[in-house]
Structure 1
Amino acid sequence: MTSDSHSSPSSILPILFEDNHLLAVVKQPGILSQADDTGEPDMVTLLKEDLKIRYEKPGNVYVGLIHRLDRPVGGAMLFAKTSKAASRLSESVRSRQFDKFYITVVHGSPKASSGRLRHYLSKDAARNIVTVYDKPTADAKEALLDYVVVAKHRDCSLIAVKLVTGRSHQIRAQMAAIHCPLFFDRKYGAPIVEGEQDIALWSASIGVAHPVTKEWMIFLSEPPRTGVWTRFSERDYTNALHILPSEGFEA
């Protein structure tokens, strides 16, 4: 397990872990996971540039994208440094042997303190928004997540989430569907509140078997203590990180 980070020469890329096969880093909110038509900064390009500088590599640098985080979401991300590692890690994702845990702050609180949400999501790519259905629907994909309410503060709750499936906007859409939209997530119905910032969703833990050694590895990242995140105590975050990789997380 590893959770200690150090910064690479590019200060926006704190490194959680690195060896010849893997690179686990902290993505800052607002950065794209991979390049798009806007030409704005993205993690893959930034990491390639960083590796090229740090290791003084004259040619192309390989960085394999294993999973994505929405642009406004920050936290732990895992990349491959070789094509073989990328292939094996991608298979871990497909076979659901790639654990993804998040911490989020939502408006209100779910009726149950823990549970599994099952919905069916259909994405409108042109509008970049997901529609949620309670029953199987044409062109909609099943979405499953498990959650635990870690703490409550007045009108909001700190929630730990384990993704079972990995659908676009899944946590954002499913929490909104149970009337608990994420703070600042205006796209999915969050009310306007003072001090608008990036949506309150953080990739807190990734668990996966190392593609070469097969050792189970866990990479941890805590959200910044700014804005809405300051409503909860350090003990709350300790409890959340304890819940995340534990057995029996599912309700």
Structure 2
Amino acid sequence: MEKTISDKNNLQVLFEDNHIIVVSKRPGDIVQGDKTGDKPLSEVVKSYLKEKYNKPGNVYLGVVHRLDRPTSGIVLFAKTSKALPRLNKLFQEKKAQKTYWAIVKNAPPKKSDTLIHFLKRNPKQNKSYAHIKEVPESKKAILEYRLLKKLDNYFLLEVDLHTGRHHQIRSQLSAIGSPIKGDLKYGFDRSNKDASIHLHARELKFIHPVKKEEIHIIAPPPDEVLWNNCID
């Protein structure tokens, strides 16, 4: 296990071995290429590996999961074709434990709770709508949250995901009246200056696809005033 920061790509590597690499995504970075044409994080990681190991040809890198562009935190990649299908299966079977931090303006109704909604995605709006009861083409979404800290004007929540739906945390927290700071799409009153939202993939626990030992990753939140108040 090693920790390093590549100044060239401003890449924060949280963990790396022969089979996997875990990095901390900055708000605004995209994990995979899209119609914007912006350089994705996957290509930045490939460049880092190519340079670090002096690889002459193409670098293999498998994308295991994604984070929304305005969010920050842990992203796991596979460095080998052996590891990728095993990691994919792990995530599909929900055997990877993902914990997020979210900063919200309004306190949730309870200090801790399990939220169950049915999310229906609107592809044209790139938005998911949370319903209390099942509606056509909806998917069941479950998360647990707990209030970690009261800040001056905000509240820090810790969220454990039980399902991995499109914009799940953003949609479900909005549905209980606690939209995430900066998330205009889901009801916050103003955007953050850098177009980020205060949602951070904080922890990831999973069994290593080859070594079969538990890996536990914790990502520091972005170096920003509000986030810094969360870890004082």
Tell me if both proteins adopt one fold, taking TM over 0.5 as the criterion.
yes
The answer to which of 86-95 and 7-16 deviates more is 7-16
Contact 2:207-2:215 at 8 Å conserved across structures: yes
Which residue in the other structure is 2:21 paired with? 23
Of the candidates 205, 208, 217, which is equivalent to residue 207 of structure 1?
205
CA distance change for structure 1 residues 133 and 208 in 2, over 3 Å: closer, same or farther? same
Contact 2:183-2:191 at 8 Å conserved across structures: no
CA distance change for structure 1 residues 104 and 224 in 2, over 3 Å: closer, same or farther? same
**SS of corresponding position for 1:86:** helix
**SS of corresponding position for 2:82:** helix
Which residue in the other structure is 2:32 paired with? 34
**SS of corresponding position for 1:83:** coil
TM-score for the superposition, normalised by structure 2:
0.94
TM-score for the superposition, normalised by structure 1:
0.87
CA distance change for structure 1 residues 60 and 225 in 2, over 3 Å: closer, same or farther? closer
Q: Matches of 1:95 and 1:59 in 2, distance apart?
A: 34
Gaps of at least 5 residues in structure 2 are none
1:212 CA drift (Å): 0.6
The answer to which of 128-137 and 196-205 deviates more is 196-205
Which residue in the other structure is 1:61 paired with? 59
**SS of corresponding position for 1:144:** strand
1:9 CA drift (Å): 5.0
Equivalent residues in 2 for 1:1-251, closer than 5 Å: 5-8=3-6, 10-192=8-190, 197-234=195-232
Percent of aligned pairs sharing the same letter: 38
What amino acid is the match of 2:211? T
Which consecutive segments of 4 or more residues in structure 1 shift more than 4 A? 193-197
The answer to which of 40-49 and 88-97 deviates more is 40-49
CA RMSD of aligned residues (A): 1.7
Number of residue-to-residue matches in the alignment: 232
CA distance change for structure 1 residues 67 and 9 in 2, over 3 Å: closer, same or farther? same
